[in-house]
Chain A
Amino acid sequence: MVPKVVKALETKPRIPVVWLHGLECTCCSESFIRSSHPIAQDVVLNMISLDYDDTLQAAAGFQVEEIRKKLIKDHPGGYLLAVEGNAPTADGGVYCTVGGDTFLNVLKETAEHAKAIVAWGSCASNGCVQAAHPNPTGAKPIHQIITDKPIINVPGCPPIAEVMTGVLTYMLTFDALPELDRFGRPKMFYGQRIHDKCYRRAFFDAGQFVESWDDEGAKKGWCLYKMGCRGPTTYNSCSTFKWNNGVSFPIGSGHGCIGCSESGFWDNGPFYQRLSTVVVPGIDATPDKIGAVLGTAAVIGVGAHLASTIINRNARIIHEDAAPAEMKGD
């Protein structure tokens, strides 16, 4: 019995994946190949069949487009579409063309017969930098263009490598889509704020802040809230997984989080301006006071919970568009 199962796993065809690139910077692909577990080689050689990816593909020109068209024809409903970047929609889509056609058309054509779509990074999930004001090309995230397919949003600029490979390996291992939140993000990786599990949280609660770059607080690893850190309003795994196989993460290397996995984060700045006044129930207070208040609260053991609640009320998260509904299974 066991050898039979092993044999089945070994001979099961790898799921074909089309990885499109629209308006983007390729940081998602770069992040993907930084994955330490699994390593990228394992994903590409043993887990999926990366049949189309213009960043890494050996073939070029019409031979590449042939592959994509053949795959759509031969495997309708049987391939995953991964999208890095997004589509410019202004002026008929002329701001990004591939093989002479607009990326907008290529995206629609490929999405039509895809089993599901993985929207890599903040470009595909939220629009990211090219969609920042005034969005000169009319760049739109995938879920605003493709509305009839399951879409998994994996935001971040880029997403953490192991989050990217984790999303894929979860789907392949459990043969199901991950549970998604109301913004289409896998709950397993985007369920909590960076601030909730930041190792500098104790300093926030104690009212100990970096006040100026390279000051004593910076050298002691105090909280970066006053330097504009977006950890309190950013849902991501940076403070738990960290980056590049756990070596560090932005706050760990002395710079605040810029909130790169949140929708509209580019227009939620300036980055070095601390998050706006937060309101403590029953007391109007500025963040400076909150640290002090929480410092006291921590003594009586409610600091962490209270801080989390307070910040949550003021988290500025812009998701005006209709996010895909929660999706399970396939």
Chain B
Amino acid sequence: MTTRVVVDPVTRIEGHLRIEAMLNEGGHVGDAISSGTMWRGLEIILQGRDPRDAWAFCERICGVCTTVHALASVRCVENALGVQVPKNADIIRNMLFLTQMVQDHVIHFYHLHALDWVDIVSALKADPDHTAALAQKVSPNAEKATAGYYREIATTLKKYVDSGQLGLFDNAYWGHPAYKLPPEANLMAVAHYLEALKWQKEIIKIHTIFGGKNPHPNYLVGGMASAIALQGDSAINIERLIIVKDLIAQAKQVVETMYIPDLLAVASFYPEWTQIGGGLGNYMSYGDLPQNSISDVAQFRIPRGVILNKNLAEVLPLDPADGAQIREEVTHSWYEYSAGKDALHPWEGETKPNYTGPKPPYSQLDENAKYSWLKSPRWKGNAMEVGPLSRMLIGFASGRTDYKEVVTEALGALKVPATALFSTLGRTAARGLETRLCVHWLQQEYDRLLANLKAGDTTTANTAKWEPATWPGEAKGYGFTEAPRGALCHWIHIKDTKISNYQIVVPSTWNASPKDAKGQHGAYESALVGTPMADPKRPLEILRTIHSFDPCLACASHVIGQDGRKLSEVLIRV
């Protein structure tokens, strides 16, 4: 008899996700389905609104990866209207992007993912002296690696556990046989869980300086609203810039002396996880971080491309505007398409939500029927994985020096071959390595901003197309970015100065998508197949692989607008 393991809610993610895994006789996952259990209808809400407002609506798709939808949205409208943003705006946007990437990846590692590898209860047995010695060995430049520090952490932890109120840590999988870290490593991780929690609120101030607040900083079609005036105290000036500079220095310290050493230390105890959770083997990235302009893809720091079947010898070209490349299906999604339609490019997309699942409360979904609020986006018919691993592999396979350096160094430290990257642990490691690159690039973008200011350019907004009277009767465009969780793209139709259709395909829709018409699994589902399960009642292994993707379901569950209407004289800018 097949055992069916249901994990709902999947916790330590953004949004609402349900996993059902069918175990085979050997106790491994034989098949799995991933179901997004929430839908908000943002794209319907966007219809008829001012395109310049869209970024604010879209930004509220997700407050964890805040900013990324705002960035994709302003780029989308700018693409449709043919607006070139000033150099400073591009650089500032890159800095906000990188700040988000660094902060989000660190939070993911410590607060969303670490407890899959770290046993808090075991940390109670740790010797503070030995923990300090371990911390110094793992990271010789660590700021806090004294026995006194770890004694204090151990006391805090003991007091908390002794209170009998375990709060967030209650009823978890402590003592599970799949936990492998020694008590000292667990205590070190607990300490850094708390350090990272304190630090994440600091680095994000870069958003506050340029965008006024975080979460949900402000963006602007045409540039950025934060003017620069070096000879005044009322806009971006030297006082603001120095705060940014210091925050970047602090971030480098955290990433290089805490996150990366912790990541490598934890990884070294779980070598078997380089053989588990690989999944599809198809990787995709739109690329980002323009150095010249958003239309000059060749100059992006994060390269664009597609890798199929783990073939690192070839990076295939990708075009979000090509109707034959990205298409969404609804075979197993709670939507219906018009008769005769099976896969639609977002510009031609249509959606009619139609829940046909079991009446709640339910205990099981039917994997042969529709089972998710997520659609199934496919690239040339292939299911794709997006995210840090995809970006690192595409950067590596594209021969980018910076990518090759960090990947080679990490593989050497862990003494594993490049194929180890195609795994759950590879995904988790790739996120860390990307953070190293990002914190380094953040400094470089800051330096670029200063160089541009020194050259006398303080412009932050292009207002030539601000007034709707300057717009064509109809326009369509797309705007992409690489969100922390992967490839994100928005597509827009503007008609008579209003949004006539707005469509979004987000990273977690790619990764968490249900099966398609051909029965091809989405990335989560595929990655779970073959996972060993020590105790089906405590599915720690499922959480490891799912968390390695860093799910974001508020992003993933959305709906496409009205049926694709025929457009005449549409302005397309690529």
CA distance A244 to B207 in the complex (A): 9
Whether A309 is near chain B, meaning CB under 8 Å from some CB there, is: no
- Whether A27 contacts B44 in the complex (CB less than 8 A), given A64-B171, A96-B16, A270-B53, comes out as no
Distance in Å: Cβ of B145 to nearest Cβ of chain A: 20
| Cβ-defined partner of B554 (8 Å) among A25, A35, A51, A100 | A25
B50 touches A36 (CB 8 A): no
Whether B300 is near chain A, meaning CB under 8 Å from some CB there, is: no
A255 touches B220 (CB 8 A): yes
B171 touches A130 (CB 8 A): no
Chain A's interface size range is 35 or more
Whether A274 is near chain B, meaning CB under 8 Å from some CB there, is: no
B225 touches A255 (CB 8 A): yes
Distance in Å: Cβ of B509 to nearest Cβ of chain A: 15
Name A241-282 residues within 8 Å CB distance of B: 243-245, 247-255, 258, 260, 266, 269-272
- CB-CB under 8 A from B243, the residues of chain A are 247
| Residue of chain B at shortest CB distance from A97 | B37
- CB-CB under 8 A from A153, the residues of chain B are none
| Cβ-defined partner of B14 (8 Å) among A55, A91, A132 | A55
Distance in Å: Cβ of B53 to nearest Cβ of chain A: 5
Interface string of B33-61 (1 = CB under 8 A from A): 00001111110110001101100110011
Interface string of A266-308 (1 = CB under 8 A from B): 1001111000000000000000000000000000000000000
A271 touches B56 (CB 8 A): yes
| Residue of chain A at shortest CB distance from B193 | A41
| Cβ-defined partner of A254 (8 Å) among B16, B227, B463 | B227
- Whether A39 contacts B198 in the complex (CB less than 8 A), given A56-B111, A253-B226, comes out as yes
Whether A34 is near chain B, meaning CB under 8 Å from some CB there, is: yes
- Whether A101 contacts B360 in the complex (CB less than 8 A), given A25-B61, A50-B167, A214-B227, comes out as yes
- CB-CB under 8 A from B42, the residues of chain A are 129-130
- Whether A21 contacts B16 in the complex (CB less than 8 A), given A59-B171, A254-B235, comes out as yes
| Residue of chain B at shortest CB distance from A244 | B208
Whether A221 is near chain B, meaning CB under 8 Å from some CB there, is: yes
- Whether A58 contacts B204 in the complex (CB less than 8 A), given A23-B40, A27-B216, A247-B209, comes out as no
Chain B's interface size range is 35 or more
Whether B355 is near chain A, meaning CB under 8 Å from some CB there, is: yes
B234 touches A33 (CB 8 A): no
Contact stretch, chosen from A134-142, A166-174, A176-184, A318-326: A134-142
B227 touches A61 (CB 8 A): no
Residues of B within 8 A of A (CB): 6-16, 18, 37-42, 44-45, 49-50, 52-53, 56-57, 60-64, 66, 111, 115, 120, 156, 160, 163, 165, 167-173, 194, 197-198, 200-201, 204-205, 207-218, 220, 222-229, 232-235, 243, 353, 355, 357, 359-363, 373, 458-461, 463, 466, 538-539, 543, 554, 559
9 further A-B contacts with Cβ under 8 Å, apart from A57-B172, A58-B120, A213-B466, are A56-B12, A59-B11, A93-B360, A95-B38, A97-B37, A137-B41, A214-B460, A255-B211, A272-B52
| 27 contacting pairs across A/B (C-beta < 8 A) | A25-B61, A25-B63, A25-B64, A27-B215, A28-B63, A40-B197, A60-B10, A61-B8, A95-B41, A100-B6, A100-B8, A132-B57, A136-B45, A213-B463, A213-B466, A214-B227, A214-B463, A219-B232, A219-B234, A221-B232, A244-B213, A250-B212, A253-B217, A254-B224, A255-B218, A255-B225, A258-B218
Closest 7 pairs between A and B when the two form their complex, measured CB to CB: A27-B63, A221-B234, A136-B41, A250-B212, A253-B212, A58-B172, A255-B225
